[in-house]
Structures are given as structure tokens and as C-alpha cells.
A and B are shown apart, each in its own frame.
Chain A
Amino acid sequence: MIRTQVTLRVNGDDREVWVRNDRTLLDVLHDDLGMPDVRYGCAEGVCGTCTVLMDGEPVSACTLYAVQAEAHEIVTLHGWSDPRREPHPLQTCFLERGAAQCGFCTAGMLLTAATMAERDPDAGREEIRHELVGNLCRCTGYQAIVDAVEDYLHADGGDA
């Protein structure tokens, strides 16, 4: 299998990797670059656990080959909110609402919701539910997540 040298821009850093052409962006981020905040869920682009931002838009890293991500800006959860710093206000809303149970979907949920919040700060519950349709959750029934996103959007003085 042919390997290609690829330079990926991830969370603001250039990362050089040699990859098989059929290696997904998910496997490169999770296994080669050691990023546990990007998770395998289905490899079909259905569940959203591997959500990352590519040039600011949420994408499923499992449906992209790493070679396709070259020359694009990739941001993972830890790039969006560095765990060494204070949590993002949206994360605080998640904590207050109990919007995670097993937590496996949470990284993808946060990135999708944060993108929506920037684009549509006036979104209501229905719009939030519509936006999160590509991020599956099997534990919470989504309600606490929708509550948390709503809190974030409607918080006084929030940066949304």
C-alpha cells in the first residue's frame, strides 16, 4: 500500500504524518496524533462521535481520508477548548444541565452546537434539535443537551 507524506494543520499546529492513502482522518487524529477527543463510532458518517471542525464547519473525520484534509484547518474539541484552561461557557452549560451520561458523544455534540450558536444565535429548541440530528446520543434522550445549548444561547451577556 502506497504511503503519502501529509502535513495536517490541527489545532493550530502543522503535523507531518506518513499515511496509507486509505487511512481515515479519524484514525490519523486518534491513533497517529494521539487525540482521544475524536472517537470512532460508526465509520459511516452517521453518529457524529468523530466530529471535528474543518475550516470551521463540523465534519465526520471517519468519512474523510487524511490525504483529503491537507491544506485545511482542522480543529478538535481540545483545539476549540483547551482542557488546561477554563471551560468554554457552552461546556459550563453542559455541566450545569447534566448534559452528558457516558460522554462518548459529548465532544461531537459540543462542536456541532458551538458552530450552530455562531451561525444562528437566535435558534429555538426546534432549530437546536434539527441541528443536532447528525450527532447521536443513546443515553440522555438529548433533552439535557438541548437545554444546555438553549441556556448558552440565551444567557445574559453570553458570547453567543
Chain B
Amino acid sequence: MTIVEPTEAFDPDAESGPQEREKDFRVVGRSPAHHDFVNKVRGTLLYAADWSLPGMIHGRLVRADRASARIAGIDTTAAERLEGVVCVLTAEDVPYNAIVEHASGGLGEVIVEQPVLAADRVRYVGEPVAIVAAADPETAAEAADLVEVAYEPLPGVFSAEDALKPDAPRVHDESQDNVLINWRFVRGDVDAAFADADVVIENTYRSQHVDHAYLETEAGVGWIENDVVTLRVSTQVIEHAAEVAAILGLPQSQVRVIASYMGGGFGGKEDMTVEPYIALLVSRTRRPVRMIWSRQESIQASTKRHPFTMRYRTAATKDGVITGIEADIIGDAGAYPTLSARVLFAGGALSIGPYRVPAVRVRSRAVFTNNVPSSAFRGFGAMQVTFPYESQMDALAKELGMGREEVRDLNHIEKGDLTAAGEPVTTAVLVRETRERALEMLGEPSRPGGPGKVVGRGFASGMQPYGRSIWFRDQAAAWVTLQADGTLLIRSGVTDLGAGQAASLCQIASEILGVPLADISVYIGDTALTPPAGGTFATRQLYMSGNAILRAARKLRDRLAPVAAKELGVPEDALVWADGMVRAASGETGISLPELVRAAGTARVDTSVLNTFHARSGVFDPEAGQGHTFPDYTFGTHAAEVEVDTDTGDVRVLKYAACHDVGRAINPVRVQGQIIGAAAQGLGYALTEDCAAEDGQPMSSLFADYLIPTAMDLPDISVAFLESGEGRGPLNARGIGEPPIGPPAATVASAIEDAIGVRPQALPITPERVLDLLEGGRS
């Protein structure tokens, strides 16, 4: 087995830890109520739909009402005749009608162009076919209904397993077998491991389509300003400006994207949503345009979490030591590539979980179907595989008559052990410690609440990467300026999902420069005015932009230190930066920040620093299935106690606890919020959420039928976090946005098995499925 060594001699994360003089934290580790938070609680934050301009018109999409058909013709006459309609656009009105997902480098990857507006064929229910613009939203909706699309039905395919059959209809001519991409992760002698195994555990696990269900649907407003097509939209990725420009046939300099604070994203606003449609209407009409997707559109046609079919075989000795894992993962990509190649990469790379496995053979494929496209969703493939790898551990324990904890203690990784891709884990692995803490937090066992009810307990550990796959050579920039009155201006291209992406930057800068939080203003998410930070996804922004701001603030401090030292007549290393002052450590003398800026001006020292942070880079060899994958991981364990009603199949979560090693908590309240929020989303995934469809037709697009957890469905969740002081983020923080969504489904399944003696292997674990398990278990 060969490992490709890093191409760079230095480790860019080496300076991420606190310097000697930064160890006495004053701002980091506290939970101040930031500007964004205050505006949200006062109801004064302006989201994407809250922008209004004179003469603004309203856009509405005409969407396909069938899953697979040829477009024989589109008649827009009736719609155009309706009073108040401004224009109706179809495929021929789009200058460059293609969204191209850049190649990821997997085996046999096919390049498929996704049309902005379907031209000759539709491939999923909800695919955009035309755009209508009208004076008001009601007229736009009416006109959209008047656009007549003539379809000739084509055969369709509606599950990834069916799509792999030799005679399956082809979703795209470019792919003979409907496979978008095929990843492999291989090391060790797998055949020998299984031939020599005392015990082999083999099971197939299935997960479902899940909707992000952010409360703010996809929305935005566009207009032309200084000849530039300007979009203010709810998006995780302003860098899509480049794709919008390509679609319009304009240079990038003529498209500007501004990100509003999002009313939730969770990965669903990582691909483009409203952007190209608003841009086309703005470009055509030269008028301001607003587009808001209805909840029903969002449920029906926005991207979803990939359903995975995961066949696992685990080889072990009779003592419970794992000797090999073989896994075959199939992800339903839906009708277009979107980010499926990367999701299936993460699923394969994380498929063995936090366990030491000497022999690995994993295949992970994304497969086209005529379902709604699947793409990014918090956890991004790495969360789906938590369900099987933890279920397999419980099954192994059961098979050998060992304890669930005991079997894990024999197998969990330590720092330096290898991932499926053969890359060593480089920071602390506190899996066992998080498990002990989570189980402890469950407290005394509960008694069943009545006849026919049984109680059980379970737990699951997980590991989730933070940061992009390192072969993307990721980077993020941040720009700090100390202003004349001593206030600090931060500019960053980061977008804010509501997790405090902007506020965290303020907190880090405040720590380093001593500028009080109230004196820091932060401007984010504007392709014209803020330096590029990459999008907010992959739990990357604290790691990337946090490191960028940490270094920018340090550079500014170190540049201004000689000025302050000269003014105060003390050595540079004797300066303390706090409370809007630079003081001598002795405390006898000090200078205010406005005075420092004046002195810097006299000395011709610039008070502005633009810094770019470059993440580690590496190489993955898709043929060998080995190489570098992710910068680092966040580990954690969840534990639950559930009550199962054996008459109705109903599962109630009585107690729930979660513990993660976060390296260092920059803002503990926000860390806790991420853990509880992700656990809640994970419980919805485990028990109720499912975008049910029949032959690609959604059974319902009503929010009333898509069951995200309500306040009554959830127990209080106990949270603990460990601070190992090891992590590649700023001041040794680890990312925490995605990691807590992995363990819940496996945790609940584990507790249910403890209660009823049978393991659920398909999600969501509905009452119907529980009753089936009980009947199967009894017979």
C-alpha cells in the first residue's frame, strides 16, 4: 500500500493554535449575543424576500408535471395574453442553456449538462420548463398555469437499484449504465480477511429521500445596477456568480451576487436555486425581479438528501476484532449530477467509520434515476454510512455475545490509524470518551409507561470531515481594517446560514486585536465587495475563514505592534491588546486604538490586511482507491433511550444525549445549538421524514405531510462537548455544523433493537416498519 505524500513541505494548519500570548482567552469561549442574533430576535433582519425595488416584477417557474417525457411543444400564447404578464421565457431564450458540474475525478465519471430550462426532454417531476414574469405574484402563478407543454411519455426509472439493471431505461444518453461515477477505496487483503474470518456479518441498509425543509424557501431579488446584473439571494455559495454569467453569456465582471442572511440552508442552497431564473428575467426585462419558490415547489423539486442502499460485510475474529470490511454503496443521484459525485466520495471515504480495519474494499456509486436530483445535505454522504457501520458493530457484538461497548473498544481508531483511503488521522480521537460521557448523561433507566410498551437504550459514534476534500486545494480570504475611530471593519465572502458564520469571525478578530465586539462591523457574501471565502458548506467556514481571519488579525496586530511599542516606549512583546486599548503588560501605560491608528498614519503604516488562507492539499488516486481525502474529522457519540409501543409500533424518544470533541469551543452557546439542532434533524431523519414518491411523482408536496419534528416530538437533549485542544481550525477548533447529524439514526435503531430484539435496517423507522419487525421477530 502506498500513500501519496503531501506535495507541500509545510503544514498550513501549524499556526492555527493559540500563540503564547493568546492563551488567556477573553472573548473566545464566551457566548455574546452578536448583531445578527439581536436583529433576528427584534425581527429586523432582512431576508432574501424582504427586498423590494420600484417597478419590481415577479417571476414564477413552469415545472414539468411528469418524470420522463419528450417535449413536443410549448405554447405560451395564452400566458402572454394575460393582463399583467411581462414575458414568458423558454429554453431558446437562454443564451447558454447548461449547468455543468465540474469533474470530480472518479472512475468513469460522465459529464452531463443540466439545462437551465428543459429544451427537448424532461427527466424529473418539477424540472423547470419555462419562466413567467408578471406585475404581481398572483398573475405570475396564473400565467404559469396557462403555459401549455405538450409531452410525449418516455419510460422512466425510479430507484437506483432498478437503474443498474441491464435493460433499465437510460436517463442520459451519455451514460450507458446510468452510473454517474464509481469510487473505490481498497487496501489490505480483503479476500484473505473474509476467508480466514471466524464470523462474517452481512446486512443491507437503506435510507430515504429527505427534504432540507428550511423555513425560508428559495428566494431572491435581482436588478441591474451600473450595467451589472445584481442578485441578492438566499444562497450558501455566491461563487455561482460565475455560472450565472456563463448562462447569460456575460463576463464575470457583469454579474454580482450578494448573499442575504439565510433562513436556513443545510446544503439545500449550495447548488443554484433561483439565481439563473431571476438573472434571465432581469437580463431580458431590465427590470427588478423577485422570485420566491413556494413551499410546495420546494418540497417537490428542490434537491434532496440521497437515498443510499448500503450492503455491508464485516469480517471479524471470534474475539471481536474486525479484520475486514466490504461495502457496496449506491446513491440515488436523481436526474442530474449536481453534487452527487462528491457526496458518494464522502460516503465511501467514511464508510468504515471510526474503526481500525486492516482490509477494506468499498465501492460507492452515484446512479441516475428519474427522481428529483439529490445533492448536498448536512452530513453529505458521511452521515448516511453511520447507520450501517454502527449497526454492523452492534450486530457483531450480538453475534459474539459481547457487549456493544466492549466490541467497539477492541476496534476504535486512535490518532495515527488509517481511514478507508489509507490516510492517517492526525488529531486526537476521543471516541471512547465521548461515548462514556453520552451514556452517563442518560442517567437512570426509565420504566415502560404502560402495558405493551418496552424501553431500550442504544448509542452510536460517528466521524464527519470538516473542510473540503483536500484535492480541491481550498482557500478563503478575509480582510480586516482598523478604522480611524478604532472600530474594526471585517469583509469576508462568507455566507451565513444562521450558525453564526459572520459572528464567529468577529469573535476571533476581537480576541486577537482587543477590539470590543460592539466596535466590529462585518460585511459578508458579496462577489463585488468582499474577498472570496468559498461557500458555506462541508463544515468548512470556521476552519477556512476562521483561519483566514485569525491570520489577518495577527498580521494586523504584528504590523501595528512596532508603532504601539514606539509610542509607549516598551518592547513589542510586552503589549496587551484588550478592551479597545494597547497597553504595556505592566499596566502603567497604554494607547487607545484611535490614537494607534493616528500614529500608524503618521508612520505610514497601513491599518488594513487582506489575507488568504490555503488549506492542506493532497492527491487521491481513484484507480488505487488510496490517497488524501479530508483535512480532519470531528468525532462524537450520541445515546438514546426509547419507548416502543408494541401494539402500535410507535417509537418515542424518552432521553437523548450527545457528546462531541470540538477541539475548542469558540462560542459555546452556538456549539450547543449546532449539536442539538443537528440531533433534532437527525431524529426526524431516523423516525418520520420521507419524501415519498410513486414513479417519480411526489405523493404529497404539502408541508403538512412532510413531518419534521415539532416542539412536542423531541425530548430535552443533553449535550456535552470535550475540548481536546486538537483541531485544524482557528485556535484548534474543529467544525461542528455537520458532525452531530450522523449518529441519531443509528442511535435510535440501536435503542429500538435493545427494546424489541430486532434491528431496523431501513429508514425512516415508521410505526409500520416497527410492526413489521415485531411480526418478523415473533414468527
A77 within 8 A of B: yes
Q: Does B9 contact A (CB under 8 A)?
A: no
Q: Which residues of B contact A64 (CB under 8 A)?
A: none
Q: In the complex, A145→B717 CA distance in Å?
A: 13
Can you name 5 A-B residue pairings with CB atoms under 8 Å? A40-B49, A43-B295, A102-B40, A140-B676, A140-B680
Decide yes or no: A98 and B43 within 8 Å by CB, A31-B52, A43-B294, A133-B710 being known contacts: no
Nearest opposing residue in chain A for B136, CB measure:
A20
B319 CB → nearest A CB, Å: 40
- Give the Cβ gap from A21 to chain B, nearest Cβ, in Å: 11
CB pair A141–B676 under 8 Å, yes or no, is: yes
* Cβ of B603 under 8 Å from chain A: no
Q: Min CB distance, A103 to chain B, in Å?
A: 3
Interchain CB contact under 8 A, A141 and B295? no
Question: Does the CB pair A103–B672 fall under 8 Å?
Answer: no
Complex interface bits, A4-20 against B, C-beta within 8 A gives 1, otherwise 0: 00000000000000001
User: Which residues on the A side are within 8 Å of B716 (C-beta)?
Assistant: 125, 143, 146
Question: Cβ of B703 and Cβ of A22 under 8 Å apart?
Answer: no
Which residue of chain A is the closest to B718 with respect to CB atoms?
Answer: A143
Residue B195, interface by CB 8 Å: no
Instruction: Return chain A residues, CB-CB under 8 Å to B216.
Output: 39, 41, 102, 104
Which single residue of chain B is at the shortest CB-CB distance from A76? B43
Within 8 A of B (CB), among A111-160: 125, 128-130, 132-133, 135-146
Cα distance A99–B703 when bound, in Å? 23
8 shortest A-B CB distances, which residue pairs? A103-B40, A102-B498, A141-B680, A104-B263, A37-B43, A98-B669, A36-B50, A42-B295
Is the C-beta of B622 less than 8 angstroms from some C-beta in chain A?
no
Q: B residues within 8 A CB of A49?
A: 215
Q: Which of B24-42 contact A (CB under 8 A)?
A: 31, 33, 36-42
CA distance A139 to B710 in the complex (A): 12
State which size class the interface on A falls in.
35 or more
| B264 touching A133, Cβ below 8 Å | no
Apart from A36-B46, A46-B703, A132-B711, what 14 extra A-B contacts exist at CB < 8 Å? A40-B49, A95-B33, A97-B669, A98-B33, A98-B673, A101-B677, A102-B261, A102-B497, A129-B711, A135-B711, A137-B215, A139-B498, A139-B677, A144-B672
Taking the complex as formed, is A74 at the interface, i.e. its CB lies under 8 A from any CB of chain B? no
Closest chain-A Cβ to B293's Cβ sits at a distance in Å of 10
Q: Across the interface, do A100 and B264 meet the contact criterion of CB distance under 8 Å?
A: no
Q: Does B262 have its Cβ within 8 Å of any Cβ on chain A?
A: yes
B47: interface (CB < 8 Å): yes
A95 touches B37 (CB 8 A): yes
**How many residues of chain B have a CB within 8 Å of chain A?**
58
In whole angstroms, how far apart are the Cα atoms of A76 and B262 in the complex? 21
Given the complex, which residues of A lie within 8 Å of B44, measured CB to CB?
A: 36-37, 83
- Cα distance A106–B47 when bound, in Å? 13
A57 CB to nearest B CB, Å? 19
Evaluate contact between A47 and B499: CB separation under 8 angstroms: no
User: Is A100 a contact of B703 with CB atoms below 8 Å?
Assistant: no
Question: A42, A83, A139: which has the most chain B beta carbons within 10 Å?
Answer: A139
CB pair A42–B43 under 8 Å, yes or no, is: no
Q: A44-B703, A87-B41 are in contact. Are A138 and B214 (CB under 8 A)?
A: yes
The answer to whether the Cβ of B188 comes within 8 Å of any Cβ in the partner chain is no
Min CB distance A142 to B, Å, is 4
Cβ-neighbour of B215 out of A76, A77, A97, A105 (below 8 A): A105
Q: Which residues of B contact A144 (CB under 8 A)?
A: 669, 672-673, 676
Interface residues of B in 672-725 (CB under 8 A from A): 672-673, 676-677, 679-681, 702-704, 708-712, 714, 716-717
Is B670 among interface residues, defined by CB-CB distance under 8 A? yes
Task: Determine if B138 is an interface residue (Cβ-Cβ < 8 Å).
Answer: yes
Instruction: Provide the bound-state CA to CA distance between A97 and B499, in Å.
Output: 14
Identify the closest chain B residue to A128 (Cβ): B711
Residues of B within 8 A of A (CB): 31, 33, 36-47, 49-50, 52, 137-138, 212-217, 261-264, 266, 292, 294-296, 497-500, 669-670, 672-673, 676-677, 679-681, 702-704, 708-712, 714, 716-717
Q: Is the CB of A47 within 8 A of B714?
A: no
Q: Which residues of A sit under 8 angstroms from B676, Cβ to Cβ?
A: 140-141, 143-144
Q: Which residues of chain A are within 8 angstroms of B264 by Cβ–Cβ distance?
A: 101-102, 104, 138-139
> Measuring CB to CB, which residues of chain A are less than 8 angstroms from any residue of chain B?
1, 20, 22-23, 27, 30-31, 34, 36-37, 39-44, 46-47, 49, 76-78, 81, 83, 87, 91, 94-107, 110, 125, 128-130, 132-133, 135-146
A44 touches B295 (CB 8 A): yes
B47 A46 Cβ-Cβ under 8 A: no
Question: Do A41 and B43 have beta carbons less than 8 Å apart?
Answer: no
Nearest residue, chain A, Cβ from B137: A27
The answer to whether B31 and A138 touch across the interface, beta carbons within 8 angstroms, is: no
Residues of A within 8 A of B680 (CB): 140-142
How many Å from the CB of B247 to the closest CB on chain A? 27
Verify A102–B711 contact, CB threshold 8 A.
no
Contact between chains at A145 and B50 (CB < 8 Å): no
Known contacts: A36-B47, A104-B264. The answer to whether A141 contacts B679 by CB under 8 A is: yes
Tell me if A98 and B714 are in contact (CB < 8 A): no
Chain B residue contacts of A99, Cβ below 8 A: 41
CB proximity of B214 to chain A, nearest CB, Å: 6
- A42 contacts B703, C-beta separation under 8 Å: yes
| B263 / chain A contacts, CB cutoff of 8 Å | 39, 102-104
Once the chains are docked, how many angstroms separate the CA of A34 from the CA of B216? Answer: 18
Instruction: Among A83, A102, A138, point to the contact of B43 (Cβ < 8 A).
Output: A83
A100 touches B40 (CB 8 A): yes
User: A101's contact among B33, B39, B498, B679, by CB below 8 Å, is which?
Assistant: B498
Set B138, B296, B681: member contacting A20, Cβ < 8 A: B138
In Å, the complex CA distance between A130 and B711 comes to: 7
- A139 x B42 contact (CB < 8 A): no
Task: For the complex formed, measure the closest distance between the CB of A26 and the CB atoms of chain B, giving whole angstroms.
Answer: 11
**Which residues does chain B contribute within 8 Å of A40, judged by CB atoms?**
49, 217, 292
| B49 and A39 form a contact (CB under 8 A) | yes
Determine the chain B residues whose CB is within 8 A of the CB of A96 once the complex forms: 33
Whether the pair A98, B37 counts as a contact (CB closer than 8 A) is yes
A106: chain B residues within 8 A (beta carbon) = 40-41, 43
Q: Which residues of A contact B673 (CB under 8 A)?
A: 98, 101, 139-140, 144
**B500 contacts which chain A residues (CB < 8 A)?**
101
**What's the nearest-Cβ distance from chain B to residue A89, in Å?**
12
Known contacts being A130-B712, A140-B673, is A91 close to B217, with CB within 8 Å? no
Residues of B within 8 A of A87 (CB): 41-42
Choose from A98, A100, A128, A139 the contact partner of B31 (Cβ within 8 Å).
Answer: A98
Nearest residue in B to A142 (C-beta to C-beta)? B711
For A97, list chain B residues within 8 Å (CB): 669
Are B215 and A136 in touch, CB under 8 angstroms?
yes
Q: Bound state CA distance, A76 and B44, in angstroms?
A: 12
Closest A residue to B56 using CB positions: A31
Chain B min CB distance to A86 (Å): 11
Docked CA distance A71–B44 (Å): 27
On whether A129 and B712 interact (CB within 8 A), knowing A47-B215, A107-B43, A141-B677, the answer reads: yes
| Of A96, A99, A105, A137, most B-chain CB atoms within 10 Å | A137
How far is B712's CA from A125's CA once the two chains are assembled, in angstroms?
10
Q: Tell me the smallest distance from the CB of A93 to a CB of chain B, in Å.
A: 10
A154 to chain B, nearest CB (A): 16
- CB pair A98–B672 under 8 Å, yes or no, is yes
CB distance from A110 to the nearest CB of B (A): 8
Contact B708 A138 (CB under 8 A): yes
Q: Closest residue of chain A to B42, judged by CB?
A: A83
Chain A min CB distance to B403 (Å):
30
Residue contact A143 to B714, C-beta cutoff 8 Å: yes
Contact A41–B217 (Cβ < 8 Å): yes
Find out whether the CB atom of A94 lies under 8 angstroms from the CB atom of B41. Answer: yes
CA distance A42 to B214 in the complex (A): 11
Q: B215, A102: Cβ atoms under 8 Å?
A: yes
| Structural contact, B677 and A140, CB atoms closer than 8 A | yes
- Are the C-beta atoms of B704 and A133 separated by less than 8 Å? no
- Docked Cα-Cα span, A23 to B139, in Å, equals 11
State A22–B710 Cα separation when bound (angstroms): 30
User: For the complex, what is the distance from the CA of A140 to the CA of B669, rounded to whole Å?
Assistant: 11
In-complex Cβ contact of A136 among B33, B36, B49, B710 (8 A): B710
